[in-house]
Amino acid sequence: MTARDFVEVSKPRIVVVLVITAVTSYLAATRFDATPSVAWDVDWFKLGFLTLAGALASMGASALNHYYDRDIDKVMERTAKRPIPAGRLSPKSVLAYGLGVSVLSVVIAWFTLNPMATGMIALGIFFYVIIYTAWLKRNNAWNIVIGGFAGSAASMAGWATVTGSMDLLGFLVGWLVFMWTPPHFWCLAIRAREEYASVRVPMLPVLIGNQKTASYILANTAILLPYSVGLYFLNPGPGLLYTIIAAISGSLMLIYHYKLTKNPTPEFAWKAYKVTAPYLVVIFVALAVDALFYYKIPI
C-alpha cells in the first residue's frame, strides 16, 4: 500500500482535464457575470477552492469506481494491473478513501463556494458513481451517454461558482462535455471490444460492432461541431476567438472520425481516442481566453 497506488485509483489524468473544464468555465463566466467589470474578475479564494473541491470530487468518485469495478477490472487486460486487482490496495481501503475524499469535496465546496456549485459537484459524483458505474455501465448500451452528464457537472460547477446559479449559457457550455463523451469513449471501446464482451459489459461496439459504432461516433461529432460553433449566436454568447478555434478543432476531429468509419480498426480507434482529450482542453481554454479579449477588445 503506497501513496502512488492511491494516486492511481484517483485517475489523475482525468482529474486534470476535469479541473481544466471547471476553471476555464469559471473564467468564461466572469464575462457574463451580472456586474462585469474587468477581464477575469477572479476571486482567487473561490477559484482555489473550486479547484480543490473539483479535484477531490473527481478523485473520490474515481476511487469508488475502482472499488465497484474490481471484479471486472481483474479480468480485463487494460485494468488487471490496477491497485485492487493487483493486490496492492485492499478494497476496503479504496472504499474508505473514495468515500472520505468525496464527502470532503462536498463539505469544502459548501463552506467556500455556493449551493449551486456544491450541488453540481455532488451531482457529478452521484452521476459517475451511482448512475453510470453502479447502474448503467453493466446494464445499458447507452451507459456512457447518460453517464456522460457526470463530466458536464465539473464545468457547470465552475460556472455556478461565479454566477451562483445555472443560467442557460452555463448549462449549454457544460453540455459540450456531454456531447464530447461518446466519441471520447466509444473510440476506446472499439479497441477494447473483446475485453468488454468477456466481462459482459454492454458497451456499444459489443452490441453493434465496430463499423456501426464508428458511424455513431461520426454522427455524434457531426452534431458536436455545429453545436460548439453555434454557441456564438447566443445572446450573450462566446466570442469569435472561441468560435474559430472550436470550428477548426472540431473539423479536425470530424475528419479523424470520418476516417475511422473507413478504417474501424482498434489501432485507428486508439488514435481517434487520443485526440479527444486534447480537443476538449483546447475548446475550453479558448472559451476562457475569449473572455479576456472581450474586455480588452470589445467585439
| Contact pattern from residue 50 through residue 79 relative to ligand FPP, giving x for each residue in contact according to CB under 6 A and a dash for the rest | ----x--xx--xx--x---x---------x
147 lies in the site for ligand HEM, by CB under 6 A: yes
| Cβ nearer to ligand HEM, comparing 268 with 294 | 268
| CB contact at 8 A, 217 and 187 | yes
Q: Of 83, 177, 193, 189, which Cα lies nearest the Cα of 128?
A: 177
Grid coordinates given for 95: 472504499
Residue 26 sits at the vertex; the CA angle it makes with 112 and 101, to the nearest 5 degrees, is 45
| Cβ nearer to ligand HEM, comparing 117 with 150 | 150
| CB contact at 8 A, 242 and 283 | yes
CB atoms within 10 A of CB 171: 14
Grid coordinates given for 116: 449551486
Q: How far is CA 251 from CA 72, 160, 173, 280, 281, in A?
A: 36, 30, 19, 13, 15
- Please state the closest distance from residue 247 (CB atom) to ligand HEM, in A: 21
List the one residue from 185, 268, 279, 294 that touches ligand HEM (CB under 6 A).
Answer: 185
| Contact pattern from residue 256 through residue 285 relative to ligand HEM, giving x for each residue in contact according to CB under 6 A and a dash for the rest | ------------------x--x--x-----
- Please state the closest distance from residue 64 (CB atom) to ligand HEM, in A: 14
Grid coordinates given for 245: 478555434
- Please state the closest distance from residue 25 (CB atom) to ligand HEM, in A: 11
List, in sequence order, every beta strand (DSSP E) within 79-165. none
- Please state the closest distance from residue 58 (CB atom) to ligand FPP, in A: 4
184 lies in the site for ligand HEM, by CB under 6 A: yes
281: left (phi over 0), alpha (psi -120 to 50) or beta: alpha
Q: Of 53, 250, 282, 243, which Cα lies nearest the Cα of 154?
A: 53
By CB under 6 A, the residues from 188 to 217 that bind ligand HEM are 188
| Contact pattern from residue 65 through residue 84 relative to ligand HEM, giving x for each residue in contact according to CB under 6 A and a dash for the rest | -------------x------
160 lies in the site for ligand FPP, by CB under 6 A: no
Question: Residue 69 touches which of ligand FPP, ligand HEM, none (CB < 5 to 8 A by kind)?
Answer: ligand FPP
| CB contact at 8 A, 222 and 260 | no
5 lies in the site for ligand FPP, by CB under 6 A: no
The amino acid at residue 57 is A
Rule CB under 6 A: which residues touch ligand HEM? 13-14, 17-18, 21, 78, 132, 144, 147-148, 150-151, 177, 181, 184-185, 188, 274, 277, 280
Rule CB under 6 A: which residues touch ligand FPP? 14, 18, 54, 57-58, 61-62, 65, 69, 79, 121, 124-125, 128, 133, 150-151, 153-154, 157
